[in-house]
């Protein structure tokens, strides 16, 4: 079972396309040549729109030289320097392929640095698909989960209790910059919670890992908690880092440099130069245009527009979480009947929305694109309201 | 610490290049524009030579449409059908990024299928870098290793004993098609051992996983043990599958299809279409030209040439393992002094050899290329013999 599910009756509305032919900017076309404004952005990677010319040209220039060679290219050093100069808490960087590679390597580094074993994470929170983290237990042994301790996101008391229960053995706390569990309303981090996590980690000598695999370069190019004045010890990135090219990164503070060098990690394509060239172009451009700020206005318009339409059609809906990556939650919709009916109607009109996972906007989702979309979602709301009335 | 190590005094000869600028066919150039005939082939991926035009054109055609979209492209189906029609024991295929993704997913599937927990693997054998498998324990907890049981490769009695010690709880046996541990002579599989592994797995109801991440498409395009008449239940591929594009694959028999669909796995770039297009071109071409057979003649010439030169210069050496992926072992060289001196001298002459890891030939390593190389290695042997005599 893939996390980014193929459409089937249980998991996705029937109209959701199964196979994709091509993408360009904010749009993608399915194999039947239906065009969609794509609010999934490949579940995050497309930060600058599909087939962004700046990124693809940088990738093509590197591809003409070589991609996977018998060691790294200079692009690895350039990308590391770009990340450490962009992200204030980052003194070093290492690269892999999956977000899971970055989060699980961070935990291993924390164990080396502290000589301890336990990992504190928020209940339900997704931090990867390895055996410690995977949200489904099929094929996972109890031993794989033995060192995971859960707390409740934004709940300082539960965090303190989890740490106290394993006093002296907490290697790391891993946390997302905001609560982005599937199926439920996203929740911003309480700044007091962020500061408490930092203070607790420092006090007990544990390592604070920020998981920005999903949020990286969409909320703040310096790191999602930089605006709160809270700096983690390590941050994991992937998805948007290279605008769709396969790469993940782990950055960290100097104090962890030696521990990072002791951990054995490897992958056949971890030195590949093309995704690194793409990441350099992506991060440079994201910093230059301030991608998170650029996406905010269309994101706010999208949120306000959909919420007003929902109200008007008697289907109140909230776009929860950051406007750059909102999650739809309809009122009184425990079975997600309304969410499925509405997103199905939207998809049939060429607007790719998701009924239970957060969505993503890119810099190609301009105000004009959002306005085009809102005309279509208004029809989708009307159809949904009529259909649900008829069914009830 | 990356598995494919950067050069440093402890791990690699001093002349080994640290950073790479470009590649073409059998050759690669370092950042100082020194040219090398590359016998690492990026530690395996380059099956058809660096920047193979057939593969790169297929990749470019797909890139012009899209790579990482909000779901899979038709390339995923085409690649799955190509693998299941090429590999007799394969009825289904799934795709990921790292070899480790494929081997660890296979284990999870086996646990679902059997309801058991233990994994039997050969001592020392490398099957990935996750916490069960990683060859270095830094940052790994005892729980991570609790379900691993080791046996000795090619030793039926030790395999039987390992299985008997966990009677009723063996989920899977994972095994490489030949013994390719670093630092020591590679060893072909004893056909009786391969048959015994198969018979044992069947008898006790465990799943047999063949790890072809390193060997895939270099020994036999149908699967490395097909010639022995031994079929695993699942096989993991990566490295050579797309000639350097980042992808791994797990293929399996029908009996495991449902268990495979129950395991939750995911990665941000697992649906990326460009590496799948590259894999289709690579596998088609490898089958068409019979890449393993094509590499055999130059491989035999390389082995025979180096071994004769070693003998002549008083530095007897064996190229152990399959000729397509040989590992150098010098006689009476426990500290690898000779291996380091010789590979250092070869690298200074433009021949990229490895002192303790198996090397890889590609279809671009023709007889002509091998003959060019043998002229240079003859000089390297002469220099090494002189230097070692002077030092002793």
Read out DSSP for A59-118? HHHHHTT-SS-SS--HHHHHHHHHHHHHSTT-SEEEEESSHHHHHHHHHHHHHHHHS--E
Q: How many CA atoms lie within 13 A of B39 on its CB side?
A: 31
User: Under a CB-based contact definition with an 8 Å cutoff, are residues A388 and A337 in contact?
Assistant: yes
Of A38, A66, A135, the CB nearest to B22: A66
Give, as one character, the DSSP assignment of residue A238: -
User: Under a CB-based contact definition with an 8 Å cutoff, are residues A316 and A330 in contact?
Assistant: yes
Which run of H or E residues covers position A341? helix A337-348
- CATH class held by domain B53-289: alpha beta
The mean per-residue pLDDT over the stretch B215-230 comes to 98
Q: 3-state secondary structure string, chain B?
A: CECCCCCCCCCCCCCCCCCEEEEEECEEEECCCCEEEECCHHHCCCCCCECCHHHHHHHHHHHCCCCCCCCCCHHHHHHHHHHHHHCCCCCEEEEECCHHHHHHHHHHHHHHHHCCCEEEEECCCCCCCCCCCCCCCCCCCHHHHCCEEEECCCCHHHHHHHHHHCCCCEEEEEECCCECCCCCCCECCCHHHHHHHHHHHHHHCCEEEEECCCCCCCCCCCCCCHHHCCCCCEEEECHHHHCCCCCEEEEECHHHHHHHHHCCECCCCCCCHHHHHHHHHHHHHHHHHCHHHHHHHHHHHHHHHHHHHHHHCCCCEEEECCCCCCEEEECCCCCCHHHHHHHHHHHHCCEECCCCCCCCCCCCCCHHHHHHHHHHHHHHHHHHHHHHHHHC
The chain A residue lying nearest B110, using CA atoms, is A139
- What is the reported pLDDT for A138? 85
* CB proximity A135 to B under 8 Å: yes
- What is the reported pLDDT for B311? 98
**Contact state of A21 with B139 under an 8 Å Cβ cutoff:** no
Q: At what angle do helices B291-312 and B367-391 cross, to 10 degrees?
A: 30
- What is the reported pLDDT for B361? 98
- What is the reported pLDDT for A381? 98
Mutate to test the interface with A, among B68, B93, B108, B217 (most CBs of A within 10 A): B68
pLDDT band at A107 (very low <50, low <70, confident <90, very high): very high
- What is the reported pLDDT for B69? 96
The chain B residue lying nearest A97, using CA atoms, is B97
* CB proximity A268 to B under 8 Å: yes
User: Under a CB-based contact definition with an 8 Å cutoff, are residues A270 and A96 in contact?
Assistant: yes
- What is the reported pLDDT for B145? 83
The mean per-residue pLDDT over the stretch A58-73 comes to 97
Assess whether pLDDT exceeds 60 at residue A207: yes
pLDDT digits (tens, 9 = 90+) for B238-274: 999 999 999 999 999 999 999 999 998 899 999 999 9
Give domain limits for chain B. Answer: 20-51+291-391, 53-289
Buried b / exposed e over B172-196, threshold 16 CB at 10 Å, is: bbbbbbbbbbeeeebeebbeebbbb
Name which of A3, A104, A139 is nearest B267 in CA terms. Answer: A3
Name which of B142, B98, B78 is nearest B265 in CA terms. Answer: B98
The whole-angstrom separation of Cα A364 and Cα A367 is 9
**Contact state of B269 with A98 under an 8 Å Cβ cutoff:** yes
Mutate to test the interface with A, among B17, B240, B268 (most CBs of A within 10 A): B268
* CB proximity B95 to A under 8 Å: no
Q: At what angle do helices A191-204 and A156-165 cross, to 10 degrees?
A: 20
Give, as one character, the DSSP assignment of residue A42: G
- What is the reported pLDDT for A190? 98
- What is the reported pLDDT for B297? 97
User: Under a CB-based contact definition with an 8 Å cutoff, are residues B79 and B232 in contact?
Assistant: no
Name which of A2, A47, A127, A75 is nearest A274 in CA terms. Answer: A75
Q: How many CB atoms lie within 10 A of CB B335?
A: 7
Q: What are the chain B neighbours of A129 within 8 Å (beta carbons)?
A: 264-267
Which run of H or E residues covers position A300? helix A291-312
Residue range A20-51+291-391, CATH number: 3.90.1150.10
**Contact state of A244 with B67 under an 8 Å Cβ cutoff:** yes
* CB proximity A104 to B under 8 Å: yes
**Contact state of A131 with B141 under an 8 Å Cβ cutoff:** no
Between positions 274 and 293 of B, the ones with CB within 8 A of A are: 275
The mean per-residue pLDDT over the stretch A252-260 comes to 97
Tokens of B175: 């095994």
**Contact state of A246 with B68 under an 8 Å Cβ cutoff:** yes
Name which of A240, A250, A248 is nearest A269 in CA terms. Answer: A248
Which of A21-35, B140-154, B305-319 has the least mean pLDDT?
Answer: B140-154
pLDDT band at B10 (very low <50, low <70, confident <90, very high): low
The mean per-residue pLDDT over the stretch B354-366 comes to 97
**Contact state of B45 with A6 under an 8 Å Cβ cutoff:** no
* CB proximity A296 to B under 8 Å: no
Place of tokens 């007889």: B367
Beta strand B148-151 pairing with B20-24:
unpaired
pLDDT digits (tens, 9 = 90+) for B331-348: 999 999 999 999 999 999
The whole-angstrom separation of Cα A247 and Cα A168 is 35
Q: What are the chain A neighbours of B52 within 8 Å (beta carbons)?
A: none
Which run of H or E residues covers position A236? strand A234-237
The chain B residue lying nearest A132, using CA atoms, is B144
Collapsing DSSP to helix, strand or coil, A185 comes out as coil
**Contact state of B139 with A4 under an 8 Å Cβ cutoff:** no
User: Under a CB-based contact definition with an 8 Å cutoff, are residues B212 and B175 in contact?
Assistant: no
* CB proximity B377 to A under 8 Å: no
Q: Do domains A20-51+291-391 and A53-289 have the same CATH topology?
A: no
* CB proximity B211 to A under 8 Å: no
**Contact state of A1 with B262 under an 8 Å Cβ cutoff:** yes
pLDDT digits (tens, 9 = 90+) for B155-204: 999 999 999 999 999 999 999 999 999 889 999 999 999 999 999 999 99
pLDDT digits (tens, 9 = 90+) for B77-126: 999 999 999 999 999 999 999 999 999 999 999 999 999 999 999 999 99
pLDDT band at A6 (very low <50, low <70, confident <90, very high): low
- What is the reported pLDDT for A100? 96
- What is the reported pLDDT for B368? 98
Name which of B186, B188, B185, B209 is nearest B197 in CA terms. Answer: B209
- What is the reported pLDDT for A139? 84
Q: What are the chain B neighbours of A144 within 8 Å (beta carbons)?
A: 143-144
Tokens of B43: 């530690």
The whole-angstrom separation of Cα A148 and Cα B241 is 35
* CB proximity B170 to A under 8 Å: no
Residue B271 backbone phi and psi in degrees, to 5: -95, 0
Q: What are the chain A neighbours of B140 within 8 Å (beta carbons)?
A: 108, 111
First to last CA, chain B: 34
Distance from CA of B35 to the nearest CA of A (A): 13
The whole-angstrom separation of Cα B109 and Cα B233 is 11
Assess whether pLDDT exceeds 80 at residue B9: no
Mutate to test the interface with A, among B1, B2, B116, B145 (most CBs of A within 10 A): B2
- What is the reported pLDDT for B276? 98
The whole-angstrom separation of Cα B241 and Cα B218 is 10
Assess whether pLDDT exceeds 80 at residue A323: yes
Assess whether pLDDT exceeds 80 at residue B63: yes
Place of tokens 């002791």: A262
Distance from CA of B302 to the nearest CA of A (A): 20
Name which of B143, B172, B121 is nearest A142 in CA terms. Answer: B143
The mean per-residue pLDDT over the stretch A300-328 comes to 98
Between positions 234 and 253 of B, the ones with CB within 8 A of A are: 238-239, 244-246, 248
Assess whether pLDDT exceeds 90 at residue B210: yes
The whole-angstrom separation of Cα B49 and Cα B55 is 10
- What is the reported pLDDT for A1? 60
Between positions 26 and 45 of B, the ones with CB within 8 A of A are: 28, 31, 38, 40-45
Percent of chain B with pLDDT strictly greater than 90: 90
The mean per-residue pLDDT over the stretch A320-334 comes to 97
Q: At what angle do helices B273-289 and B291-312 cross, to 10 degrees?
A: 70
Of B66, B100, B117, the CB nearest to A20: B66
ipTM comes to 0.96
* CB proximity A15 to B under 8 Å: no
The whole-angstrom separation of Cα A218 and Cα A235 is 14
Give, as one character, the DSSP assignment of residue A148: E
Q: What is the mean pLDDT of chain B?
A: 95
User: What is the torsional sign of CA A221, A226, A227, A228?
Assistant: positive
Assess whether pLDDT exceeds 70 at residue A262: yes
């Amino acid at each position: 079972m893939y996390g980014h599910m193929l459409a089937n009756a249980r998991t996705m509305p029937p109209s959701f396309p199964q196979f994709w032919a091509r993408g360009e900017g904010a749009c993608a076309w399915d194999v039947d040549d239906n065009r969609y404004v794509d609010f999934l952005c490949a579940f995050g990677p497309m930060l600058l729109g599909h087939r962004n010319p700046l990124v693809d040209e940088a990738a093509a220039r590197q591809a003409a030289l070589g991609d996977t060679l018998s060691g790294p290219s200079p692009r690895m050093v350039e990308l590391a320097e770009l990340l450490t100069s962009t992200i204030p808490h980052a003194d070093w960087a290492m690269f892999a392929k999956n977000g899971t590679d970055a989060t699980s390597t961070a935990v291993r580094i924390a164990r080396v640095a502290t000589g301890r074993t336990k990992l504190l994470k928020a209940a339900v929170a997704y931090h990867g698909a390895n055996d410690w983290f995977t949200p489904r237990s099929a094929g996972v042994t109890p031993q794989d989960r033995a060192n995971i301790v859960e707390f409740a996101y934004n709940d300082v008391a539960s965090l303190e209790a989890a740490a106290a229960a394993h006093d002296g053995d907490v290697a790391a706390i891993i946390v997302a910059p905001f609560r982005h569990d599937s199926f439920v309303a996203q929740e911003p981090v309480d700044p007091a919670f962020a500061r408490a996590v930092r203070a607790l980690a420092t006090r007990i000598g544990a390592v604070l890992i920020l998981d920005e695999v999903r949020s990286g370069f969409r909320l703040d190019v310096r790191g999602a908690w930089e605006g709160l004045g809270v700096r983690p010890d390590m941050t994991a990135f992937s998805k948007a880092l290279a605008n769709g090219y396969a790469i993940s990164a782990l950055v960290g503070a100097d104090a962890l440099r030696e521990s990072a060098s002791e951990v054995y990690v490897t992958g056949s394509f971890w030195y590949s130069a093309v995704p690194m060239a793409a990441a350099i172009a992506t991060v440079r451009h994201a910093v230059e245009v301030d991608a998170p700020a650029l996406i905010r206005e269309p994101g706010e318009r999208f949120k306000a527009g959909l919420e007003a339409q929902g109200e008007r059609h008697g289907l109140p809906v909230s776009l929860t979480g950051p406007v750059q990556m909102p999650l739809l939650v309809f009122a009184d919709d425990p079975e997600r009947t309304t969410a499925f009916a509405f997103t199905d109607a939207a998809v049939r009109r060429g607007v790719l929305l998701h009924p239970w996972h957060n969505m993503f906007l890119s810099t190609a989702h301009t105000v004009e694109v959002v306005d085009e979309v809102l005309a279509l979602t208004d029809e989708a709301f009307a159809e949904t309201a009529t259909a649900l009335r008829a069914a009830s």
